[in-house]
Amino acid sequence: MKVRASITALGGYVPPDILSNKDFENMVDTTDEWIKSRTGIETRHILKGAGLGTSDMAVEAVKQLCAKRGISPLEIDLLICATVTPDHQFPATENIITDKLGAKKAWGFDVGAACSGFIYALTVGAQFIETGKHKKVVVVGADKMSSIMDYTDRTTCILFGDGAGAVLLEPTEEAQGLMDSILKSDGHGRHYLHQKAGGSVKPASAETVAQREHFVFQDGQPVFKAAVVGMAEVSAEIMEKNRLTSEDIAWLVPHQANLRIIDATARRMGIGNEKVMVNIQKYGNTTAGTIPLCLSDWETRLKKGDNIILAAFGGGFTWGAVYLRWAYTA
């Protein structure tokens, strides 16, 4: 029998502090109405407090997952963290998460694929289950986007929030779990969405800080156009490849970047809004956190056997889709 990787538990965490559209009206030249009509976002959660980073949110999500599944962190074999806001340049944020959890038997690494990070990491993590190498793999998507946000850049700062989500993968011989994935990238897209300084090409200096080059830079129009096409087409492609009709799909779980991109993807798949998970209004774009946070929010509505499509598009450019058959009814 073919061994597949099933999601058997979920966890999600957003910090308590909220930044609303009204707050932004006092910070930059924008309005609540403009933000809502362009993006669908109303609030986003921000991690505040000295010494707190991406790992702290991830730890909360994984603790929740362990409690739901009734397992100890010591049972985790591998932990993969998808993030573009690591606690430090090195060590990997995964090292810090496993240490704070007490997951002493786990090894792992970080995956940096921006907003596609979670589906990249999920696909990689599933392969350790499918090969029989590991029995319990945790995949985390977490980002503290507020740490790389220029709160004077009115077109970009309104989009992002902080948060983390996590899933537990375990082996199954049933026809469920991660059924298929299609992942893509195009490095030419790096010109339109990146962080200018802080890497080996342009190390931090007094000048790079003064020039505000340690924040997200986004050229909105080319990113938006590429995201609309990329996310919609790859979602349709994975449906066609697996002979799935719109009626077969229980849920689309899209990356929460912009309501218009989400709508375009749903239309291309031929599914109505009632089958689309949307929480962008509450959290904004949490980068690698969006998809697992959606799954966590909707957990009680998911049923064993549900056909679910995960779809994302992010910096790189990176994009892709995952076909899941849900493994349990909560």
Distances 268 to 3, 47, 291, 306 between C-alpha atoms, Å: 31, 35, 19, 20
> Would you state the structure tokens that stand for residue 276, as one six-digit string?
């689309």
Among residues 95, 258, 285, 307, which one is catalytic?
285
Question: Is 255 an annotated catalytic residue?
Answer: yes
Among residues 115, 258, 279, 294, which one is catalytic?
115
> Would you state the structure tokens that stand for residue 270, as one six-digit string?
């031929």
How far apart CA 321 and CA 241 sit, in angstroms, is 12
Among residues 255, 279, 294, 307, which one is catalytic?
255
Q: Which residues, at least 6 apart from 149, have a Cβ–Cβ distance to it below 8 Å?
A: 156, 157, 160, 215, 216
Instruction: Show the DSSP H helices in the chain as ranges.
Output: 21-25, 32-39, 54-69, 93-101, 117-130, 206-210, 220-241, 259-269, 280-283, 290-298
Question: Is 191 an annotated catalytic residue?
Answer: no
Question: Is 285 an annotated catalytic residue?
Answer: yes
Which letter does DSSP use for residue 80 in this model? E
As annotated, the active-site residues are 115, 255, 285
